[in-house]
Amino acid sequence: MATAGRLGHGDEVDGARRSRTGGACPRGLSPPVLHASMPLTAGLGSAALTGEDTHMQTAVTQVSDEIKRLELERYVLQMEVDGLTVVPPSVTGVTPEFLDRCTEVLLTEFTRMTGAPISLENGPEAELVWPERTGKSRSFLRDEDAPPPTQMLIQQIMQLDRCFRDLFVNPVVDALIDHAIGPVPFGGAKARRLSSTNSFVKWQGEYGYGESLGLHPDQGATPRPWGAQALTANATWCLTEYTKSDGALAYVPGSHRPGFVASAKVVQQARPVECERGSVIVWPGSTLHGAFPKLTKGLRLNAVAYYRHQSVLPQENMTITMKDAPWDDCENADLMRELIGFDDVFPYLKQSQEVPRAKA
């Protein structure tokens, strides 16, 4: 089975991946700022969005019994209309104490990796500099024209603590990701798998990703045209409040739809995703997104689960990196096993098909 190249996630920026296909808001209407509390109709036929009296009709694909059982229809509709949805902690069930634990683990790991003390209130409490580049080393966080670092990526966070393994088997998010990516073509099995788990640690700095806001679609490395099923999807858990001045996620409403063409002025269409701490932002890999610069003191912190369709190459080879890790120490070991892909047919390491033998 052919696999696509590694894809982006979270606020990742790659200047070469700014144009894409998708869909725009109706002519003459301003895309709304997305808030977790924005009203949506209970049915799947229409949506009333905040903004300049923006009312949009949408045809939504069938929803699973799991979506219905968890009463997630409004979030599915929001994702179908805008290309992104925000689910508050009251729906996912995460508690302040749980978020505190996730935060504590990440701040401790940041200090271990960088040597710098750090706090939510002040950000890094020592001057940080990028290391000298050697060979072909490259980082999407490090623009050649950018000032000293104002963010870093902590990778493989699922291996750091059980809190992240529990977070990434949350049934509400799993149902939404499953809706976005859909089943495999044969047998109806679920196609979503984890690609990587990371945390963007972001502190004050006026540059951010520059004027472009780093806008890109995560599945930009895959050939177009894209179909209705997402090839990748993102669930970003907000461990701090998200506001525009605090460096919130930026996204272009409707950019996930077939027919959308990113113009030179696409940055002007970008809107902030503002939501309370503990919210989770979910979007398909076709949605154009980036991030605003953080203009305030302190940290913007998240935990990102980046998902892939089973046919897409993962960013982290979890079947190897998690094999001897405590992957089953979590709320739902069966789901974690499936998300990692331990039982997938591909890629194989040895003969996997039966071999006929000469009859004695």
3-state secondary structure of 164: helix
The answer as to whether 66 is a domain residue is no
Q: What is the CA radius of gyration of the chain?
A: 20
The answer as to whether 62 is a domain residue is no
The answer as to whether 57 is a domain residue is no
Distance CA 164, CA 257 (A): 32
What is the identity of the amino acid at 183? P
Both tokens of 26, joined, read 């109706």
Q: Look at the block and give the residue holding tokens 């049915």.
A: 43
Residue 112: which domain range? Answer: 15-25+78-126+146-340
- Which CATH number does the domain housing residue 113 bear? 2.60.120.620
Helical segments of the chain, H only:
65-69, 73-82, 89-92, 96-114, 162-167, 171-181, 318-321, 333-340
Both tokens of 54, joined, read 């923006």
- Taking alpha carbons only, the member of 81, 74, 94, 68 closest to residue 26 is 81
- Taking alpha carbons only, the member of 220, 236, 224, 222 closest to residue 177 is 236
The answer as to whether 313 is a domain residue is yes
The answer as to whether 304 is a domain residue is yes
The answer as to whether 65 is a domain residue is no
pLDDT tens for the chain, 360 residues long, are 333 443 455 554 333 333 323 333 333 333 445 555 444 333 333 333 333 333 333 344 689 999 999 999 999 999 999 999 999 999 999 999 999 999 999 999 999 999 999 999 999 999 999 888 776 666 666 666 667 999 999 999 999 999 999 999 999 999 999 999 999 988 889 999 999 999 999 999 999 999 999 999 999 999 999 988 999 999 999 999 999 999 999 999 999 998 898 998 999 999 999 999 999 999 999 999 999 999 999 999 999 999 999 999 999 999 999 999 999 999 999 999 999 999 999 999 899 999 999 999
- The per-residue b/e assignment along 273-296, b for 16 or more CB within 10 angstroms, e otherwise, is bbbbbbbbbbbbbbbbbbbbbbee
Both tokens of 290, joined, read 């980036």
Tally of domains in the chain: 1
Q: Are 295 and 245 in contact (CB under 8 A)?
A: yes
The pLDDT score that the predictor gives to residue 11 is 52
The pLDDT score that the predictor gives to residue 133 is 76
Q: Are 286 and 111 in contact (CB under 8 A)?
A: no
The answer as to whether 346 is a domain residue is no
3-state secondary structure of 78: helix
How far is C-alpha 314 from the geometric centre of its chain's CA atoms? 14
Q: Output the CA–CA distances (angstroms, integers) from residue 299 to 115, 240, 281, 293, 345, in the order listed.
A: 17, 8, 18, 12, 42
